[in-house]
Structure 1
Amino acid sequence: MTLNRDFFVAVFFLVLVVVMYAASYSLPEPMFNQLASWTWPRVILIPLGILSLVLLIQSQTSGLEAATFSDLKGWLRDNTNPFLCFVLFFGFLYLMPLLGMLLGGLLYVFLTLCVLGGWQPRQMVLHIAISAVFVVGMWSIFSLALGVVLPEGTILRVY
């Protein structure tokens, strides 16, 4: 058995899928012929579990080198972007009561695009456009077309 990075990622996601799938049994039962509340979580978890299993099998059959944790500083330097994206996401969640889904989503997507794509003025204009189109578009679909009440925050009252 080879203990490489893919092995650890696959095991992590397999454990996550099993725990989340088991937790989906505690979701409430639907009323009045509605779609069950566990439907979409399970629809997502089943392919994720299958892909994790495929990754686990591939990690054992491929010739990847074993993971070494001797150079922690180098590993942190190589993985700065994922850590920054997680920090931005948790900041988005923390500021959700203040900013709401619309403003918080705009800020989160813009900052994430800038962290990953660069801070040059031309790129920032493109990041603003992408953020505006996709966040406002998704917010409009969910709140206006589907009638989902999204968090509005204390700064901007939408409803």
Structure 2
Amino acid sequence: MSLNRDVVVALLLLLLCGVFFWESGNIQLTDYGQMDSTVWPRIILGALLVASLIYLWQALRGAASEGASPAPKAGPGGLAGWFRRYRNALLCYALFLTFLLTLPILGMLLGGILFVFAALTVLGRPSLKLVPLHAAIAVGTVGAMWAVFTFGLRVFLPEGVLISFQ
């Protein structure tokens, strides 16, 4: 057994799960709900606990560090090299900023579909054959999420100017 970086991170995640679970007892109880206020936070913490335990198990086995990709080769430095290295992350931030700025106009449904479609198209392989698949994934996932929140959970999501459901 070696105490590598992955083991330390997994142990810290498990410690945080314990602290958060303990602190979830301090959540204010409401009387208008049908279930306790701590149910959903504890479900999420349970999933995080399971994922952290799997991570710790893999780290102790050595699988987490064996399957790691080799360090990237040093490319050209400077600002251009930095942009090239962090291209995908910067594109995601730019797409999300565009989503947030257009949310009052497009609304959650249309804006979310366009955001997911743009993210899949920009970050994936450049191929016109994949565009219909990206569109189907965007419409299906965002539409399902919107339906669950709107009809199942009765959450009011931003509608926007273009599409109004009232």
User: Which category describes the TM-score, using the shorter chain as reference length?
Assistant: 0.5 to 0.7
Matched residues in 2 for 1:151 and 1:16: separation? 33
Question: Cα gap change, 1:33/1:137 in structure 2, threshold over 3 Å: closer, same or farther?
Answer: closer
Residues 47-86 of structure 1 mapped to structure 2, 5 A cutoff: 47-62=47-62, 64=65, 81=88, 84-85=91-92
Larger mean CA deviation between 55-64 and 7-16 belongs to 7-16
State the percentage of identical aligned residues.
37
Partner of 1:31: 31
RMSD: 3.9
Partner of 2:79: none
Partner of 1:108: 115
- Structure 1 or 2, whichever has the larger Rg, is 2
Matched residues in 2 for 1:73 and 1:41: separation? 44
Shift in Å at residue 110 of structure 1? 0.7
Partner of 1:10: 10
SS at match of 1:123: helix
- Answer yes or no: is 1:44 the counterpart of 2:44: yes
The answer for unaligned runs of 5 or more in structure 2 is 77-81
Q: Deviations over 1:41-87 (max 9, x none)?
A: 2102112123213312431331636999896769x878764664465
The answer for unaligned runs of 5 or more in structure 1 is none
Superposition TM-score, scaled by structure 1 size? 0.67
Question: Cα gap change, 1:24/1:109 in structure 2, threshold over 3 Å: closer, same or farther?
Answer: farther
